[in-house]
Amino acid sequence: MARANGMTGPCQLCGRHGVRTTRHHLIPRRTHRLKRIRKRFDRDDRLGRILHLCRPCHSHIHAVLDEKALAEVYNTRADLLAHPEIAQFVAWIVDKPAGFRPAIRRPKGR
């Protein structure tokens, strides 16, 4: 289901309904020009891997993982959910109401 950035719908990570979503590029756009990423993923794959996430899930992913790890290891929904910190966060937020906004952690090492 295609939808514009900022639409209301289910988060494709935690599954909460009625939340505003943002587009999360599973292969970060800044990594598209890297030779190893271009060899591994074709252009359509690099551009097409997108999840629509609620702001808390999106922010948590970027607080836990850097762009290199996202592009090379955590570039699918299943891979993200396999990361212990992401899985723990999703399990915690899943029953929170749509308007819930947790305090956001600062990204590691940045």
The more confidently predicted of residues 43 and 19 is: 19
User: CA of 39: how far to CAs of 32, 43, 44, 68, in Å?
Assistant: 10, 10, 13, 15
Domain extent listing, the chain = 8-93
Q: How confident is the model at residue 6 (pLDDT cuts 50, 70, 90)?
A: low
pTM of the entire predicted model? 0.76
Q: What pLDDT is stored for residue 38 in this prediction?
A: 52
> Which residue, 105, 90, 79, 85, is CA-closest to 10?
90
Q: How confident is the model at residue 78 (pLDDT cuts 50, 70, 90)?
A: very high
